Chains A and B, each alone.
Chain A
Amino acid sequence: MSAGEKSVSISTAGVVARPESVVPARAPAVKQRKLPDLRRWLSPIGLVLLWQAASSTGVLPPDKLASPATVFRSAYELVVDGQLVDAFLVSLSRVAVGFVIGAVVGGALGLVSGLSRWGERLLDPPVQMLRTLPHLGLIPLFILWFGIGEEPKLALVAAGVAFPLYLNLHAGIRQTDPALLEAARVLGYTRLDRVVHVVLPSAVPQTLVGLRIALGTAWLSLIVGEQINADAGIGYLINNAREFLRTDVVVVGLLVYALLGLSTDALVRALERRVLRWRAR
């Protein structure tokens, strides 16, 4: 579940994704929220039951994969004794700090190269070249530059965030409808007015797409980064568990990663609904 979702983020990390139609045709006045189709839950629940059955009958030995019941119990114990919460907070703060650094860098570069012709000439070529490097492949260099403490982990997250944000912000600004800019000019908008009321708002949908990709990449970068000599965080929890063949704890860690990824994604989608509420309803 987590692996599948994250690997999608890798392949799109350097890609400018399209926002789902910037100005959609007029939608029906009331969008009906459909109830989830419960039948879609049949196979996932069936798989978990199958997994439990395989564990109970000894087909699946616990040193390969713990049973769902054991995973659930370990999760409960880890929460109660505080280990999971501590690890969670450490990992969360790594992502948060790395994300802020990456967002500031990617956002600033995207703004400069989007808003100024010279900025684009000077900044875009090197950024486009660098983004073809798989940023996870930079780990050896980051270890040499930053050591094996917190810094390479933050740098990895920041690099994963900066590129997709830059690309989508830049593309979003460049896609501004020239007809709207013309109208703004003849209606006496100042240059600042045009940037604030025309260019930047029209770049928002694309930037939010970039934000979602960036957050996906941020979690992926964290997971990889926490394999480097972590002494705290969920990566540490998982690596430690591996030493003792605690597959139940490994699975708990993976589930937490997955939940974190899902919840930040939901956060961005909520932000989208709020910020893009001008779209036809």
Chain B
Amino acid sequence: MAGAVRIRGLVKDFGPRRVLAGLDLDVAEGEFVALLGRSGCGKSTLLRILAGLDPDVEGTFTVPERVSVAFQQPRLLPWRRVWRNISLGLRGVGRQRDKHRAVAERALAEVRLADHADAWPLTLSGGEAQRVSLARALVREPELLLLDEPFGALDALTRLAMHHLVEQLWREHRPAVLFVTHDVDEALLLADRVVVLDEGRIVAEHHVDLPRPRRRASFADLRVEVLSDLGVDDVEAA
């Protein structure tokens, strides 16, 4: 299987601080990889580099042609209606408005917001806005989907619903996913592979060979292992 992402010897400095210290990582096509780490371990920086938002790096990396990002904040344009937020930036669908509209409506139906096409983004709840943001990322049919803690700002119940939705969307569209999070459960629920980052380096890697949809009880042992990779040994407290 050809790789979607190939990273070799990636180094990134912010002034005197080395954020990524010679990182190597491959992601296969259609693979769901979770990047775990404490704040400041360089995981978000890596995502920004792959998204092309931070060109000033050493080392090499290749990404597919179509890359999409969903950020921690939905970052919708408040002055464009929901469906326009999704269809804007869409290329190769032709210029016709009604075609764009149809594509946006299909994408909205996938995130169960079909009746919100004409809403203004500021009238949506946090979870709804984040779903629009997902629909907007997926409508471009990306070969690589970068998720930067997209559930970090949501309440616990909404998060659960979003996990399910993301898994479903990933199964239907099959992009390679690089999913940045600091939530071990979230990573183990969704990812084929969990990569633990510390001080700009990969310090551990776990393949999660469990059937989906997964239950938390099924990965209790793995969870202890990953937490210990993250430097959390007192599992009772975690």
Q: Which residues of A contact B (CB under 8 A)?
A: 23, 26, 179-180, 182-189, 193, 197-198, 201-202, 204, 277-281
Contacts and interface: CB of A to CB of B under 8 A. Distances in A.
Interface of A is mostly: helix
Given A193-B88, A201-B79, A26 B140 contact: no
B89 interface: yes
Interface residues of B, number: 25
A179 B73 contact: yes
A26 B124 CA distance: 9
Contact of B53 (A185, A193, A202, A204): A185
Contacts of B170: none
A281 B89 CA distance: 27
A278 B89 contact: no
Contacts of B137: 187
A234 B204 CA distance: 82
13 contacts: A23-B122, A183-B69, A186-B51, A186-B52, A186-B53, A187-B89, A201-B79, A201-B80, A278-B79, A278-B121, A278-B122, A279-B122, A280-B120
Interface in B60-77: 67-69, 71, 73, 75, 77
A191 to B, nearest CB: 12
Contacts of A188: 89-91, 140
B178 to A, nearest CB: 13
A177 B68 CA distance: 20
A62 to B, nearest CB: 55
B69 A186 contact: yes
Given A26-B123, A185-B52, A279-B78, 8 more contacts: A186-B68, A187-B137, A188-B91, A189-B88, A201-B77, A201-B79, A204-B79, A280-B122
Residue of A179, A184, A188, A198 contacting most chain B CB atoms (<10 Å): A188
Contacts of A187: 68-69, 88-89, 136-137, 140
Contacts of A277: 120
Interface of B is mostly: loop
B53 A182 contact: yes
B75 A183 contact: yes
The 10 lowest CB-CB distance pairs between A and B, nearest first, are A183-B75, A201-B79, A187-B89, A280-B122, A186-B69, A189-B89, A278-B120, A188-B89, A278-B79, A186-B51
Contact of B122 (A26, A179, A193, A197): A26
Contacts of B51: 186
Contacts of B77: 180, 184, 197-198, 201
A204 B77 CA distance: 13
A198 to B, nearest CB: 6
Contacts of A183: 69, 71, 75
A179 B78 contact: no
B78 A278 contact: yes
B89 A179 contact: no
Contacts of B75: 179-180, 182-183
A119 B146 CA distance: 35
B108 to A, nearest CB: 16
A91 to B, nearest CB: 36
A281 B52 CA distance: 36
Contacts of B120: 277-281
B71 A179 contact: yes
Nearest to B122: A280
